[in-house]
């Protein structure tokens, strides 16, 4: 693995949306429209992480905070769900995907104290399944026709982030989900504003 020193891992901003859109369009059969990506970047329930090389985004991962039960867990634990993920093809297999997922998981953990991560993947996407298994995800459910438009089935894959004992410890901090959510919302609004101001060159 060789990662150049001019690599930067950071949260995505509105200015990154066009580039992310292009990477997703060239890498995935299912991708989000620009207006959807704009909405995700502004919402505190979503976390977008991008990796840049020489100031140019070469990969991204987008996650959403969820609380619905899944087959991964009997309880409705807070969960980070991977919604879209790709590295530009010529930069694959160099470790950037692992860096992105690692950062996404740690941001979801520190902000929302999540218990697990989850994602859906096409059963035919063996490279991605191999990748997820290498970084600790396990197949939990086979979902027949999940990708019906693509004529493919899916797997739900999950990774436990926090064991029960750690959940007990974190309860003592008494940071409620609402507080944490409000803080992130404020921070995101501030950053979006700063980003827009920079664009206007004020
Ligand atoms: C999945 C993806 C994001 C992984 O990004 P990446 O930067 O290539 O990942 P890494 O370099 O960190 O790979 C880590 C491990 O994943 C596995 N892996 C990654 N690419 C692989 C491939 N082409 N074939 C087999 N295993 C692969 C390997 O175990 C690899 O470790 P190794 O190189 O030491 O063997 C990238 O392949 C991609 O953009 N694919 C197209 C879009 C896609 O399928 N997204 C996921 C949708 S659910």
**Whether the Cβ atoms of residue 65 and residue 78 lie closer than 8 Å to each other:** yes
Is the Cβ atom of 130 under 6 angstroms away from ligand 1? yes
Q: How far is CA 165 from CA 9, 136, 171, in A?
A: 31, 19, 10
Q: Which atom of ligand 1 is nearest to the CA of 88?
A: 39
Length of the chain equals 202
pLDDT digits (tens, 9 = 90+) for 72-90: 777 778 999 999 999 999 9
Q: Which atom of ligand 1 is nearest to the CA of 92?
A: 8
**Whether the Cβ atoms of residue 158 and residue 118 lie closer than 8 Å to each other:** yes
What is the distance in A from the centroid of ligand 1 to the CA of 191? 31
Please give the CATH architecture assigned to the domain spanning 7-195.
Answer: 3-Layer(aba) Sandwich (3.40)
User: What torsion, rounded to 10 degrees, do the Cα atoms 128, 109, 118, 125 define?
Assistant: -10
Task: Specify the DSSP class assigned to residue 30.
Answer: S
Q: Is the pTM of this model over 0.95?
A: no
DSSP string, 138-152: EEEEEEEEEEGGGTE
Task: Look at strands 116-122 and 79-87 and give their pairing.
Answer: parallel
Q: Return the closest-CA partner of residue 141 out of 124, 118, 163, 162.
A: 118
pLDDT digits (tens, 9 = 90+) for 123-168: 999 999 999 999 999 999 999 999 999 999 999 999 999 875 233 3
For the cut 80, the answer to whether the pLDDT of residue 71 exceeds it is no
Q: Where are the domains of the chain?
A: 7-195
Q: What is the model's pLDDT at position 159?
A: 94
Q: What are phi and psi of 109, to 5 degrees?
A: -65, -50
**Whether the Cβ atoms of residue 123 and residue 152 lie closer than 8 Å to each other:** yes
pLDDT digits (tens, 9 = 90+) for 31-60: 999 999 999 999 999 999 999 999 999 999
Residue with CA nearest ligand 1 atom 16: 131
Token pair, residue 88, equals: 């530009």
Is the Cβ atom of 123 under 6 angstroms away from ligand 1? no
- Tell me how far apart the alpha carbons of residues 155 and 160 are, in angstroms, rounded to a whole number: 16
């Amino acid at each position: 693995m060789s990662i150049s020193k001019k690599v930067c891992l950071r949260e995505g901003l509105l200015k990154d949306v066009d580039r992310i859109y292009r990477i997703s369009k060239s890498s995935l059969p299912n991708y989000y429209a620009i207006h959807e990506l704009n909405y995700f970047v502004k919402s505190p329930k979503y976390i977008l992480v991008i990796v840049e090389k020489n100031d140019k985004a070469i990969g991204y991962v987008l996650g959403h905070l969820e609380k619905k039960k899944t087959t991964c867990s009997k309880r409705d634990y807070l969960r980070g769900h991977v919604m879209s993920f790709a590295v530009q093809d010529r930069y694959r297999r160099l470790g950037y995907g692992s860096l992105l997922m690692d950062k996404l998981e740690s941001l979801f953990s520190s902000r929302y104290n999540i218990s697990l991560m989850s994602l859906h993947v096409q059963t035919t996407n063996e490279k991605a399944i191999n990748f997820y298994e290498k970084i600790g995800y396990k197949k939990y459910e086979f979902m027949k026709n999940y990708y019906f438009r693509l004529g493919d089935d899916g797997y739900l894959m999950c990774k436990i982030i926090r064991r029960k004992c750690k959940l007990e410890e974190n309860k003592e901090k008494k940071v409620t989900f609402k507080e944490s959510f409000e803080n992130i919302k404020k921070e995101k609004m501030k950053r979006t504003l700063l980003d827009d101001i920079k664009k206007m060159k004020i």
